[in-house]
């Protein structure tokens, strides 16, 4: 089995695919819940500035879950599609199946990793 990355056409298909959009949403909501749960004493890497930024954004997401809703936040899915560019998630030995791609990304924690990247991008604009 040889794995390959998605073509641009396949990415366009994912962009409008309800299951992919829903997984993007839940990845962001789960990440917000994770950061909300971290108190100042258990900061990963002892990076309190990153912790404060992540907590701030997670509080915004928790207070306004529409920030994680792809139908109201087009940037969310677009960013996830950018992050997916180097992830080999298609078996080129079988016919392309969009459900298999989403299942692969979910099973291998790629949605979680893409949510990490998304949070990093959002908080990079925070100036404190």
pLDDT digits (tens, 9 = 90+) for 19-34: 999 999 999 999 999 9
pLDDT category at 41 given cuts 50, 70, 90 is confident
Phi (first) and psi of residue 87, to 5 degrees: -95, 115
Over residues 40-46, mean pLDDT: 75
Q: At 5, which helix (H) or strand (E)?
A: none
The whole-number pLDDT of residue 1 equals 67
């Amino acid at each position: 089995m040889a794995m390959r990355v998605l073509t641009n056409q396949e990415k366009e298909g994912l962009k409008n695919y309800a299951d992919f959009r829903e997984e993007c949403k839940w990845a962001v909501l789960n990440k917000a819940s994770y950061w909300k749960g971290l108190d100042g004493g258990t900061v990963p890497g002892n990076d309190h500035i990153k912790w404060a930024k992540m907590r701030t954004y997670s509080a915004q997401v928790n207070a306004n879950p529409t920030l994680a809703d792809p139908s109201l936040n087009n940037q969310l899915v677009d960013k996830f599609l950018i992050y997916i560019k180097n992830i080999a998630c298609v078996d080129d030995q079988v016919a392309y199946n969009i459900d298999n791609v989403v299942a692969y990304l979910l099973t291998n924690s790629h949605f979680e990793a893409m949510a990490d990247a998304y949070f990093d991008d959002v908080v990079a604009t925070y100036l404190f």
